């Protein structure tokens, strides 16, 4: 059989990939019923280079810990957040393993996992389905290894491409297409049928002639096509629904560092207007212009400080700025009151902050800087878990707790061994 195979129907032709690698078929996203009252939201924030450990982790545990320098901008929110020590994914790989921050699974190990290396935000987005215009929003950088976090992944191992600046995010949230463009889109939707439905009989015939590995590869490919069709169906469903009014004029893109405040504002507005309930913010690398702080050295260079005090001082200033902006984001969410509810947007938004890098200077992916805020959890302390490998608690246990709180009916995620038992709901 030729390596390049075409399945055909009377109106559709689908070119298949080379059938030679192992995979598994996974279900496409499905819409879930709208929850009563205010919906739960999820925001995941990460950077590529972690946080300088000595300035991030408190020495004391429990609710009366002393705020460290990097946590100090969040002092007014301390009752609404918990810092976790010694949570990680027990993997190695330095920069390459940063990409597993929200999944707990390295790309090379995804084939052997029940849900591949899907990230927590995309698992939550599947639960939301078509309830919002955007099942999820990923904001960040398109830069390479030392640039973008690359932390958001689908079931089929595809990176979710990020929205790269406030201008693009603003247009996605608020700019409606003209009448002519909407008519053309409607015509396209009406003419487009399901490619897989059209070639189903020929596909079934082909599957019977394939080896086990090739059959699984074909399943994986069809799952990817179904994902595309699901997104097209979402576009069709929302094409005639007007977007919310813009709260201000369209912003200009500057640099990632300068854009952080307005990107946080736009995320808050997207949550407030229920344009989405899931958002991720990849802060990282070469897009993080350190000239904003008056430095000529890049973020990546400073993260490899070699214990040199001047480089550590500059690195900590960059990280302190990130925490200042996070505190401002919390302020914004708390200022937005939920309709028909006594709570705020913050109360109904779980916000995860962290990184897949524990210590960039030594390229280790253990003891990740992890913090959880909001979401109605009982928070307000520093939790330290066993450091010994035989007693370690996987970070994915926290993710499983978050998914269950979000409403996802599941008893596992990634490499989880259970939930965080003492992470109670307030």
The string of pLDDT tens digits covering residues 379-400 is 999 999 998 888 899 999 999 9
> Considering Cα of 369, then 373, then 377, then 378, what sign does the dihedral take?
positive
**pLDDT tens digit sequence for 353-384:** 999 999 888 888 999 999 999 999 999 999 99
pLDDT of residue 231: 61
- Lowest average pLDDT, out of 111-120, 201-210, 282-291, 319-328, goes to 201-210
- Confidence category of residue 171, pLDDT binned at 50, 70, 90: very high
Rounded alpha-carbon distances, angstroms, from residue 358 to 60, 86, 126, 368, 426: 19, 10, 29, 4, 29
What's the CATH fold of domain 41-175+250-406?
Alkaline Phosphatase, subunit A (3.40.720)
Q: What is the pLDDT of residue 192?
A: 53
Indicate if the pLDDT at residue 349 is higher than 90.
yes
pLDDT at position 20 over 60:
no
What residues have CB less than 8 Å from 294, skipping those under 6 apart?
none
Length of the chain: 426
Cβ proximity of 20 and 214 under 8 Å: yes
The string of pLDDT tens digits covering residues 134-147 is 999 999 876 654 44
The two tokens of residue 228 are 């595309």
Pick the closest to residue 418 from 343, 408, 404 (CA basis): 404
**For residue 404, pLDDT beyond 80:** yes
Beta strand residue intervals within 24-167, DSSP E: 41-47, 81-85, 87-88, 137-139
Residues whose CB is less than 8 angstroms from the CB of residue 138 and which lie 6 or more positions away in sequence, other chains included: 121, 152, 160, 161, 162, 163, 279, 280, 282
* Of 17-26, 132-141, 200-209, highest mean pLDDT: 132-141
pLDDT bin (cut points 50, 70, 90) of residue 130 is confident
Domain assignments of the chain as residue spans, ordered by start:
41-175+250-406
What one-character-per-residue DSSP string does 42-72 give? EEEEEESS---HHHHS-SS-BTTPPP-TTTG
Select the highest-mean-pLDDT range: 51-60, 155-164, 244-253: 51-60
pLDDT attached to residue 340: 72
Q: How confident is the model at residue 24 (pLDDT cuts 50, 70, 90)?
A: very low
pLDDT per position as a tens digit, 269-304? 999 999 999 999 988 766 688 899 999 988 888 989
Question: Is residue 331 pLDDT above 80, yes or no?
Answer: yes
């Amino acid at each position: 059989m030729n390596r390049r195979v075409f399945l055909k129907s009377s109106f559709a032709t689908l070119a298949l990939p080379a059938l030679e690698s192992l995979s598994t078929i996974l279900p496409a996203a499905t819409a879930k019923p709208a929850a009563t009252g205010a919906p739960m939201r999820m925001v995941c924030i990460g950077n590529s280079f972690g946080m300088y450990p000595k300035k991030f982790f408190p020495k004391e545990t429990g609710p009366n810990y002393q705020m460290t320098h990097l946590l100090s901008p969040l002092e007014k929110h301390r009752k609404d957040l918990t810092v976790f020590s010694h949570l990680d994914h027990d993997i190695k790989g330095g920069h390459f393993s940063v990409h597993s921050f929200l999944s707990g699974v390295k790309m090379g190990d995804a084939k052997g996992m029940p849900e591949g290396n899907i990230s927590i935000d995309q698992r939550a987005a599947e639960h939301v389905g078509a309830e919002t215009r955007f099942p999820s929003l990923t904001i960040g950088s398109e830069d390479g290894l030392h640039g973008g976090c690359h932390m958001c992944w689908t079931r089929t191992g595809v990176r979710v491409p990020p929205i790269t600046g406030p201008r693009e995010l603003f247009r996605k949230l608020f700019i409606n297409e003209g009448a002519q463009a909407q008519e053309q889109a409607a015509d396209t939707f009406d003419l487009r049928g399901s490619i897989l439905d059209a070639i189903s009989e020929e596909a079934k015939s082909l599957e019977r002639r394939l080896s086990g590995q090739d059959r699984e590869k074909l399943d994986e490919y069809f799952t990817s096509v179904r994902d595309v069709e699901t997104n097209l169906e979402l576009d069709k469903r929302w094409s005639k629904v007007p977007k919310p009014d813009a709260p201000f004029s369209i912003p200009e893109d500057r640099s990632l560092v300068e854009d952080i405040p307005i990107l946080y504002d736009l995320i808050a507005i997207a949550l407030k207007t229920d344009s989405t309930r899931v958002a991720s913010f990849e802060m990282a690398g070469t897009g993080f212009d350190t000239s904003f702080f008056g430095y000529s050295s890049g973020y990546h260079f400073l993260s490899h400080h070699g214990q040199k005090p001047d480089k550590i001082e500059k690195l900590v200033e960059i990280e302190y700025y990130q925490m200042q902006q996070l505190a401002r984001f919390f302020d914004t969410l708390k200022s937005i009151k939920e309709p028909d509810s006594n709570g705020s947007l913050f109360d109904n938004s779980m916000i995860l902050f962290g990184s897949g890098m524990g210590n960039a200077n030594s390229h280790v992916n253990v003891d990740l800087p992890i913090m959880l805020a909001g979401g109605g959890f009982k928070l307000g302390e520093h939790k330290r878990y066993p450091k010994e490998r035989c007693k370690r608690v996987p970070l994915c246990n926290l993710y499983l707790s978050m998914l269950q709180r979000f409403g996802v009916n599941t008893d596992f995620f990634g490499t989880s061994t259970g939930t965080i038992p003492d992470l109670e709901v307030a």
